[in-house]
Amino acid sequence: MKPHPYLKLIISISFYLLLLKFILSIGLYLWILFGGRIKLRSINFLDQKLVEESFGATMIISTFELVLTGLFAYSLYVLKKLVEEFEKEKLYTPKQIAGLKLAGSMIISITILEWFIDFFTRAVAESRLSLGIYFDNPGNPWLLIATGLFFIYLSKVFKNSAELKRDKDLTI
């Protein structure tokens, strides 16, 4: 069964745009790390000491964001390869099983890391601790974790189906 043609297109476009963002972010991160400065008109009122104190926090938050973007790009790469594997019209292969499990694990990991980054950013930037849990939009963390768990469950279904198919092929 072939996947929908727009599925591969959307995943590919998303992957390449995210990869471009990741590469540009690494360049900007390294430039700032090695002494480059970005002049923003909105922070001209800050004195030099405050800017120096916030540099460490900025680098930590930027590092978290780079890791998150890299993980997200890798998860899109895994989904892209998974769709390509489904295009071969052979089901229950070890690559499909591993890809489904990895995609689910990546979705869960990214969601938890986003929670951590949001918590840390609020603690540093706003000097307050809070953790928002919401259910009212399609991108809410609980739905993403459920989607990740569904991918992991689907990998187990594929694994069981592969074993049943192998047993059936042996009895014939």
Of 25-39, 45-59, 127-141, the range with the lowest mean pLDDT is 45-59
Q: Which ranges constitute the DSSP H helices of the chain?
A: 5-33, 48-87, 94-125, 141-171
What is the reported pTM? 0.77
Mean pLDDT in residue range 101-122: 88
Side-chain half-sphere exposure of 17, counting CA atoms within 13 A = 6
Q: What is the pLDDT of residues 73-97, one digit of tens each?
A: 999 999 999 999 988 888 899 999 9
* Dihedral, CA of residue 42, residue 48, residue 52 and residue 58, to nearest 10: 0
Q: Is the pLDDT of residue 144 over 80?
A: yes
Please, what is the Cα angle at 95 between 100 and 170, to 5 degrees?
A: 110
Of 74-83, 125-134, 146-155, the range with the lowest mean pLDDT is 125-134
Cα–Cα distance between 64 and 20 in angstroms, integer? 18
Q: Is the pLDDT of residue 13 over 90?
A: yes
| pLDDT band at residue 39 using 50, 70 and 90 as cut-offs | low
Of 40-44, 49-53, 119-123, the range with the lowest mean pLDDT is 40-44
* Dihedral, CA of residue 113, residue 117, residue 118 and residue 124, to nearest 10: 160
Q: Is the pLDDT of residue 37 over 70?
A: no
More confident residue, 132 or 103: 103
